[in-house]
Structure formats: C-alpha cells, structure tokens
Structure 1
Amino acid sequence: MKVGIDMGQVSSSLASGAANGSSAMLDLEELLATRLLVQGNSGSGKSHLLRRLLEQSAPMVQQAVIDPEGDFVTLAEKFGHVVVDAARSEGDLQRIAARVRQHRVSVVLNLEGLDTEAQMRCAAAFLGGLFDADRDLWYPMLVVVDEAQLFAPSAAGEVSDETRKISLGAMTNLMCRGRKRGLAGIIATQRLAKLAKNVAAEASNFLMGRTFLDIDMARAADLLGMERRQAEMFRDLERGHFVALGPALCRRPVPVRIGEVATSARSGSFKLMPLPEQPKEEARDLIFTAGDDEIVRPVVQRRAAPPPPAATNDLLAQLARSRPAAAETAPEMTAESKAEREIVLDAILREILADSEAAFRTVAVLYQDFLVRCRIRRVSGEPPNLPAFRRRLAVARAGVDAETAAGAEWGRAMTFASDLAEDIQGVYLLLARAALTGATCPPDGEIARSCGSRSPGRARRLVAYLESRNLVVTRNDPRGLRIIALPDLGWETGPGDPNAYEEPVAAPDTGDLFAVG
C-alpha cells in the first residue's frame, strides 16, 4: 500500500500534469529507498520544509534528527521525540544510538553549543551507532541531517583531517549503504558546492529552493533535468517554495509551496523593533557597570593549536644531541676501528635484507631502518648518507661476499656502475657478480627482486633496456638457457634458466625485533 504524506501544494503544473493548487504528496515508502536532498540559501525555508516532513511522517516512521542549531528540539513537546544532548563522550553516543534502534524511539541529537569539530565527531559517533546496529534491529528510520555541508564538506576547512575523515565516512555510510539497514538519509545544505559529491550523488529525490549564485543555479537545473535557461527561476523562488523531482515526489520538476507546521523553531524569524530611548550617560552605565543579577562568567583562555609533530629524523637527532658531553668527544678513528665499523655496517645491512619483504620496500624506508639500527648499536662516527647507503644497498642486493668486494675486479664493476641510473645499478651489479664468479645467469625473479619488484616482466624489460644501451649482450646456448655478457668488463655469466626462480622462505622468529619474521 502506498503511504503518502502531504508536503503542501503544487503551485504550477509546469509540464507535469499536476493541477495547480493540488496537494504535493510524498511517497514515504519510496523515500525510504531513494533518499532526499534539500538545497537552498539561508532563509529559503529548508528547516521549515524538514519540519513539515518530520511532523507529517512522525506517526508513521521512526526518526532521528542531527540538529546543529537546536531548532528541532521543539518536536519533543508535541510529537514525543527524545532530545539527546551531544555533550557526552563518543562512546556514550554510540551506545545511545544502538538503544534508539533497539527501542524504536524518535530522537533529536542536539549539537547546539559545540564547536564545529566537536559537532562533527559527535554526529559521526551517533550515525555510526545507528549504522552498526544488529541486523535484527534494521527497522525503517528517517535520518535527517540539517546543514549537511558541516558534516560532509567537499574540501578541508579549519577542522583536522582526522575529524573530517571520520565525519565524511559516517555521512557516506548513511547515504551509500544505509538503505540496506533501513536508514533513509535526508540531507539539507545551503550550497551543493560545499557538500561532498559522493554524499550528494546518492540522493534520488530533490527539493531545490531559492539560490542566487550562477553555479548553484546551473547545478540545481542539471540535477532536475531542466534547461539552462530555466535556471533563473531558482533566483525568483519565494521563501518556502521549492522545485521537486524524484520517484518519491514526481516524475517531472514541479514547483511546490510547503505547507504550515504545528511546531516552530526556538530561534524564529527576527523582526525589527524600536530601540529603547535613554540618555547617553545611563547607556554608558548600563554597558560598563555590572548589574545586581548579572552572572559573572570566568574568562575562558583559548589554547593555541598544538604544533605539528616533529619528524622522526628530528627526534633521533635530538636524542643524539642529548647524550653526555663525554660521548660527543669521540676519539679519532683508526684504520682498525674503521674496519670494525664497516663490518658492523655490513652486518646491519644484511639483517635488514634478511627480511623477505625488505626487497620490496622503498630505499627511504630501508634507510630509516638502517639509521635506527645504527643508533641502537651505537655505531661510531657519522652514519652513511643516503647516496652512500644506496651504493651499499646495491652491492648487498647483488649478493657480493666480502672477499670478492675487496678485489680490484669488483672495483672496476663498481666504478662502471656508478655512472648508471640508480634504478638499474642493482640489476647491473647482480649480473656483474654472477659473471665475475662464474655463476649461472640470474633468473628473472631474482633480477626483479633486486630492483624491488615481484614482476618477471619488469626484469625482462630492464635486461632489454640494458641491452639496448649496449651495456649487456644476451644469447641462448643450445639448451635454450640464457647467457648474459658484460662487454665493458669482459665478463660472462654461466647458462641459466630465466624461469627457475623461487621466492625465499622467511627465517623463523628469533625474538629480535629487527630480525626476520
């Protein structure tokens, strides 16, 4: 059975077939499935429209109102809505929202008096509690969000990114996934440009009120499927007049005049009043002298915004500077101490690369890990800079042992590789190590791993690129195995199967926080 509620009167037929002056009916069951977007400048009558909708549907369906200005708390007197004061913890609001769905009580979440960031967090917590209710409690509910641009802003504002992300996620869940949970989102905004697109796009019903900016009129006309020349009508709409479209309203755009309401907002409409007549001296006394019944409120000192958190490198440098003075005046390093230092640095690098996932981390992440380990082990002297670390990393990924690395032949390979781009140095050194030691040609998987990839196709492309630059020459032996020669060094790998690579198995947990595992 179709359940309709009377929103007012149709003020013009406008190619819809509706008679002028007939009732503008809204199909409540269709609204539960298709959601509603209300747009209009301040003073166009959005709150009046929402109040009419809430009053007409209050006996038929459960309601929850997100009220940033406290305008809808008057619904409690006539329609029995429970007013929930948002000055609570987020956990309390989530639990209250769960009880609201359990007991099917209509509520108004009063956010009045809170700053914008607190309003966004409280609304997100409450909407999250409604959304996360058990499946057995998924009864139909109208969720009305006034001033929706506050809770789903299209761009970052004065609030933190975390708060905006939380609030926007809750509004997105309401509009995108709420239908299956019985939640019908009804959102009202002053400007569509201020509202996040993924929230506005989920509404299928529209009530567009008075607006003056050309871009807003054009967007409203586009949403209603009207011609651009008709967009001027939104500038001429009176207060409380809207253009309606949607499966729950009508199939063609129809101007509607919203009907009367039984309750009123606490703020009301402001009327001009004459100023009181009094002498100038008495006016000064009234301003600068406290009255007998005046409540003296303490001055609230506003705290400055906290500074951004310090970077990891700055914290580590600060810790290093805070060491005792005796540690800062380290003795000059001898040849023996330098050799020991190199051994420790190589050991640290081997520990890092022992992790099976280390090959796929960026150089910057590995360098941060390397610096932390150096400080933990109190390695003397300044740690290697990033370019030096890249060279060490390329050598380590090539799998060169200490004896080979100390030889003059390997020095030739390092000198030649230093002129290559960083993304192919590791691949070239891997091939050079295999050719120098007479090992088989590395398979594609091992080549890809040396450049931080799992794709054999990337390895083949890198080898092809090296060959196009005449840095390597590839050929196959009679068995179809690949051989790669390095003409500048005069070396050649042994024949190897390019598809013979297997992923290494991670080492067992040894209890070391920085070890493999």
Structure 2
Amino acid sequence: MTVQIDIGTLSNGTSAMIDLEELLATRLLVQGNSGSGKSHLLRRLLEQSAPWVQQVVIDPEGDFISLADRFGHIVVDGDRSDADLHRIAGRIRQHRTSAVLNLESCDADAQMRGAAAFLNGLFDAERDLWYPVLVVVDEAQLFAPAAAGDVSEEARKATLGAMANLMSRGRKRGLAGVIATQRLAKLAKNVAAEASNFLMGRTFLDIDMARAADLLGLERRQAEMFRDLGRGQFVALGPALSRRPLEVKIGAVETGARSTSPKLMPMPEAPAEDLHELILKPAEVEPPVPRLPRQPAPQPTAELLAQLIRSRPDPAAAAAEEETDPMTQAERDAAIDAVLRDLVAEEDSAFRPVAVLYQDFLVRCRIRKLAGPRGGGGPLDLAGFRGRLAVARAGVDTETAESPAWQRATSLAKDLPEDMQGIFLLLVKAGLATAPCPSDATIGRAYGTQSVGRTRRLLTYMEQRGFIVCRAAGRGGNRIMAFPDLGCETGPGDPNGPEAVAVIEIEDTTPAGADLPVEDEAEARVE
C-alpha cells in the first residue's frame, strides 16, 4: 500500500508529496545552513507521518520534545548510562512507541555516547520486532563527523559506527534513517552516501554548493541557485520525492520548538547617569543575580520503562470496544481473510519481511475500519497474523480450512520452525485433495531458494521428525508424500518436474533468536 504525505507546495502551486513507503526503503538526507529551515522541515515530516509509522528522534537541542504533547511521543532524557539507553531503545521497539531522545543536558562527548547506545539498542532488536521505524537525526554532523574533534576517539568511533549501521544496514531491520546537517563537508561520507533522497536548502560556501549540485545531478553553473533559496525552501530529488530536481516550499506545522530565532527589540530608554549608577555601583549593594531554574533530574529508568509498558493498549478497553463493534465475528473473520488475500496476491509479497507485511496488514485493516483505536493495535497480534498468513499463502479454500483434518494440520505445523510451517501446510493441502506431489522446484520456490539440495534437506528434516513420509510411486521416478498423523497422502508427482505456476510463494523467515544465517539453517537442523 502506498501512503503519500504532504510536506508543502511546489513552485507551480501543487502539493509536494513524499511516498512514505519508498522513503522507508531509500532514506533521506537534508542539508542547509543554520536558519534555512531544516528543523522546520523535519517537524513537518514527523507530524505528517505520525499516524502511519513509528518514529524515533535523536534530538541534541531538545527542540522536538513538543511532539510528546500532540502525538504522544515518549521523551527519553539522555543523561543516563549507556546500558539504560540501550535497554530503553529495545523496549521502544518492543512496544512500538514513538520516542524522542533528548540530549540537550549532555556535553558533546556524552551526546555521542548516548546516541550510539540508543541507536545500537534499536539496531539490536530481535527479528520479530523489525517493524518499520522512521529514525530522524538532527544535526547529524555531531554524531557522524567527517574528522576528529574535541571529543574522545572512543565516543567518535562508537557513534560513527552506529550512524553507519543505521544508514547502510538499518533498512533490513526496519530502520529508515533521516539525517539533517548544516554542511555536507562536516558529515562522514560513508553515512551521507547511503541516502537516495535529498532535500537541499540554502547554503553559501562554494564547496557545499558544488557537492549539493553533484548529489542532485546539476551542472556546476546551476549551483548558485542554493544561495537564492529562502527560509523553508529546498530542492528535492529522489525516488520518494521526484525523479528530477524540484523546488519545494515547506508547509506549516502544528507544534513548535522551544528555541526561536532572535527578534529585534527597542533599546531601553534610560538616562546615561542612571545606567552608570546601575552598572558601576558597589558590589555590596548589588541585588543577587537571579539563578536560572535547574534542569529537572532525569526520570528514573524503572519509571520510564513502566511508562513505556503503560503505553500499550489496555486489554479491558480493547475488549469493551470489541463488544460495541457492530460487526459479527464471522463478518470480521471474512473481512480479515479478504485483506490477507489481497496482501499475498501482490507480486512482491513473498519477498517482504513478515514484520513489514504485518505493518501493511494493520494499515489495510484501519482503512476497512477493522483496527482498534489509534495506538490500540489491530485485529490480530503478530503471532496470529503469522498463522493466518500461512493459511492464506497456502491458498486453502474456506471449506478445507474449516475441516477437522486442516485444523489438525495447523496444530501439527506449530511444532515446526516458523520458516517451515507454510511449506508443511502447502504439502498438506495437496495431500487432502490427493493432488500430485509438488516438485522440488515448486517447494524450493515457496521456501525462497533455488537450491535443490537445500529443498531436499528441508524435506529430510520434516521426514526425520515424522511429519511426512516420502515413497516412490512405480518405476517412473514419481514420488508420493504421506502424512501419518493425518491419514492422507498426495498423488504421484515428479520431484524433478517444473515449478507449478499457481503456487503462492512462502517467505523464508529465520526464527527469532537464531544465530545461524538463513542459508545454513535448514542444513544445520538436519545435521
């Protein structure tokens, strides 16, 4: 499903739209001198995408904590230990809560170490928690500097490695980096080079203008245009934005930053004699200078983790809402099945991670008014979604799905690893219909591999554990697959035959907590 968000207007007066799903896959780089409107652009992007995707903001100046009042973001104070920040980041992914890491109370070295620990916590989440997350890093040159500065080398290497992981390897874990910097020359090249979308704002230095022009595919003589851009004006290019450079004026925002641009004020009107007396009077009669209020103490980690847990949907409230739902359970199940059929019918659904498919499923359910209230989750949890998805991918009709034999088959499939459950159901479907036994090419395609050896190791694994029994059928080399616990078997089929066109692909997903690569896991199980 495609979600378009409006970030402003183009020069011709039409709306400037960003394809959110494409942005999650291709990342974004924002560049502009101080005062060009970078933070305003990020705020507009966050506000418009808040209903659609989980968000995490790395905020060195505390400008984005106002999102908490309007959109419910959890504010995490950066003045904590690295272990606490790493653990909190993991909890944020677990409970799918949007958050802002506020680093304004930390010095430069602590900011880098805190950001590194937090980003690593997001990155190290278990596979089942790889939901899409928009990770926005303001003033990215502080966390991925092109050269060493006044901070310790240990902190610089830690945060640079975390930023590189976010931009280069984060996509497979559902992390989509959006980084903003004042100068491209200050940002590490291996971090900036991973972005495919660009929003370039006002800049004046020749080296920055030339580099921005190169990224946008402009001629050097066109680089002068970046000096003429106004506040809040950017040149956009990328697969999520536009195939050619377009000038964009960023739209208005709902929330505001605590820091504002300086405004001119009239000078105080006082006689010079009075000012001389006020400034140079003896110290003993000078009133005490008022002290600024101290920053509040960091919220205890235990309390913050409890707040994250409380942000999860209330089961009682969800049950009450379900009771008032005008749809019957049969109608709801039928609607969910229709959503799943549409989802697996898409050409690329077999190659998308289950976490991404689940996110798409929740959006489709909200469109059909099948989801709970905002933040209340969807009609199925992740475990339930996996089971229903396996049935949908097996292409089982309603009559077969309601039969006792199929219910028994789904119960047996739970004893297999998740990446094999769909394959087992696909074979059972052929057995219940006495259809020809699927070929190795068909099974391999469903499992997501072209290796015949790996496909046969997969069947050997299930046969050794008693789920299936393979036997020869006559002298023609055909194969029959029997299911002892179900009392049925397939018809004869050629194991070396071609791939069946009508088979729906089953995705290869590694179970959570596995240490082996996916390519070696089936072989390791057999051994």
Q: Which residue of 2 aligns with 1:88?
A: 80
Q: What pairs with 1:25-174 in structure 2 (closer than 5 Å)?
A: 25-174=17-166
> What residue in structure 2 maps to residue 283 of structure 1?
279
1:149 alignment partner AA: Q
How far apart are residue 274 of structure 1 and its match? Answer: 1.8
Match of residue 213 from structure 1: 205
Superposed displacement of residue 268, structure 1: 1.4
- Is the aligned partner of 1:243 residue 2:235? yes
SS at match of 1:142: strand
2:1 is the counterpart of 1:9: no
Which of the numbers 178, 185, 189 marks the counterpart of 2:177?
185
Per-residue deviation, 1:276: 2.6
Q: Which amino acid aligns with 1:283?
A: I
The whole-number CA distance in structure 1 between the counterparts of 2:88 and 2:121 is: 8
CA contact (8 A) 2:78 2:105 kept: no
Deviation at 1:290, TM superposition (A): 5.6
- Indicate the residue corresponding to 1:294 in structure 2: 290
The equivalences for 1:454-469 within 5 A come to none
Secondary structure of the 1:274 match is coil
Which letter maps to 1:294?
P
Counterpart-to-counterpart distance in 2, 1:204 and 1:176: 11
Cα 1:297/1:32, change in 2 over 3 Å: closer
After superposition, the C-alpha distances for 1:335-355 in whole angstroms (9 at most, x for unaligned) are xxxxxxxxxxxxxxxxxxxxx
CA distance in 2, matches of 1:288, 1:247: 67
C-alpha distance after superposition, 1:346-405 (max 9, x if no partner): xxxxxxxxxxxxxxxxxxxxxxxxxxxxxxxxxxxxxxxxxxxxxxxxxxxxxxxxxxxx
User: CA distance change for structure 1 residues 140 and 287 in 2, over 3 Å: closer, same or farther?
Assistant: farther
Cα deviation digits, residues 413-436 of structure 1 (max 9, x gap):
xxxxxxxxxxxxxxxxxxxxxxxx
Name the CA distance, whole Å, in 1 between partners of 2:196 and 2:278: 59
Over 3 Å counting, the alpha-carbon distance change for 1:286 and 1:179 in structure 2 is farther
Give the match's secondary structure for 1:65: strand
Instruction: Give, in whole Å, the separation in 2 of the partners of 1:221 and 1:48.
Output: 22
Residues 76-117 of structure 1 deviation map (CA, whole Å, 9 limit, x = unaligned): 111111111111111000010000000011111000021111
- The equivalent residue for 2:194 is 202
- Aligned residue for 2:100, secondary structure, equals strand
- Alignment of structure 1 residues 356-505 onto 2, 5 Å: none
Distance in 2 of aligned mates of 1:132 and 1:286 = 61
Query: Structure 1 pair 287/133, CA: closer, same or farther in 2 (3 Å)?
Result: farther
How far is 1:25 from its partner?
0.1
Alpha-carbon spacing, 1:227–1:284, altered in 2? closer, same or farther (3 Å) = same
Partner letter of residue 24 of structure 2?
L
Aligned equivalents of 2:85, 2:141: Cα separation in 1: 21
State the secondary structure of the residue aligned to 2:33.
coil
Cα distance in 2 for partners of 1:64, 1:296 equals 30
Structure whose CA Rg is larger: 1
Shift of 1:275: 2.8
Q: Secondary structure at the match of 1:232?
A: helix
Indicate the larger mover: 279-288 or 229-238.
279-288
The CA RMSD measured in Å over matched residues stands at 1.8
Give the direction of change, closer, same or farther, for the CA distance of 1:139–1:297 in structure 2 (3 Å limit): closer
Q: Which moved more, 1:264-273 or 1:216-225?
A: 264-273
Q: After superposition, where does 1:317-328 map in structure 2 within 5 Å?
A: none
Secondary structure of the residue that 1:101 maps to in structure 2? Answer: helix
State the SS of the aligned residue for 1:264.
Answer: coil
Match of 2:104, SS? coil
Give runs of aligned pairs for residues 278-357 of structure 1, distance below 5 A: 278=270, 279=274, 280-285=276-281, 291=287, 294-295=290-291
Q: In structure 2, what is the Cα distance between the partners aligned to 1:295 and 1:267?
A: 20
Q: Per the alignment, in what secondary structure is the counterpart of residue 267 of structure 2? A: coil
- Which secondary structure does the structure 2 equivalent of 1:8 belong to? strand
**Cα distance in 2 between the residues matched to 1:236 and 1:292:** 48
Q: Distance in 1 between matches of 2:248 and 2:292?
A: 49
Shift of 1:282: 2.0
Amino acid in structure 2 at the alignment position of 1:5: I
Evaluate the alpha carbon distance shift between residue 291 and residue 104 of structure 1 in structure 2; reply closer, same or farther with a 3 A threshold: farther
Q: How many residues align?
A: 290
Give yes or no for contact 2:140–2:181 (8 Å, CA) kept in 1: yes
Q: Does 1:262 align with 2:254?
A: yes
Secondary structure of the residue aligned to 2:243 is: strand
Which amino acid in 2 is paired with 1:223?
L
Task: Give the unaligned 5+ runs of structure 1.
Answer: 12-19, 299-517
Describe the SS at the equivalent of 1:186: strand
- Distance in 1, matches of 2:282 and 2:234, equals 46
The Cα offsets for residues 457-498 of structure 1, whole Å up to 9 and x where unpaired, read as: xxxxxxxxxxxxxxxxxxxxxxxxxxxxxxxxxxxxxxxxxx
1:162-218 Cα distance to aligned partner (Å, 9 max, x none):
111001000000001000000000000000000000000000000000000111101
In structure 1, distance between residues paired with 2:282 and 2:4: 56
Aligned residue for 1:262, secondary structure, equals: coil
Structure-2 residue corresponding to 1:368: none
- Alignment match, 2:420: none
Q: Give 1:287 shift.
A: 8.4
Q: CA deviation at 1:270?
A: 1.4
Which residue matches 1:226?
218
* Change beyond 3 A, Cα 1:137–1:290: farther
The one-letter code sitting in structure 1 at the alignment partner of 2:176 is A
**Structure-1 separation of matches of 2:180 and 2:286:** 42
CA contact (8 A) 2:233 2:247 kept: yes
Cα distance in structure 2, aligned partners of 1:226 and 1:137: 40
In the alignment, the residues of structure 2 paired with residue 206 and residue 182 of structure 1 have an alpha-carbon distance, to the nearest angstrom, of 20
Decide whether the 8 Å contact of 2:26 with 2:197 is kept in 1: yes
Q: Go from structure 1 to structure 2 and tell me whether the alpha carbon gap of 1:282 and 1:203 turns closer, same or farther (over 3 Å shift).
A: same
CA pair 223-282 structure 1, distance change in 2 beyond 3 A: same
Q: Any idea what SS the aligned residue of 2:57 has?
A: strand
Identity rate, percent: 75
Report the TM-score when normalising by structure 2.
0.54
Over residues 262-286 of structure 1, what are the superposed CA-to-partner deviations in whole Å (9 max), with x where a residue is unaligned?
1111011210112333412123459
* Structure-1 residue corresponding to 2:265: 273
State how far apart, in whole Å, the 1-side matches of 2:81 and 2:260 are: 30
What is the identity, as a one-letter code, of the residue corresponding to 2:167?
M
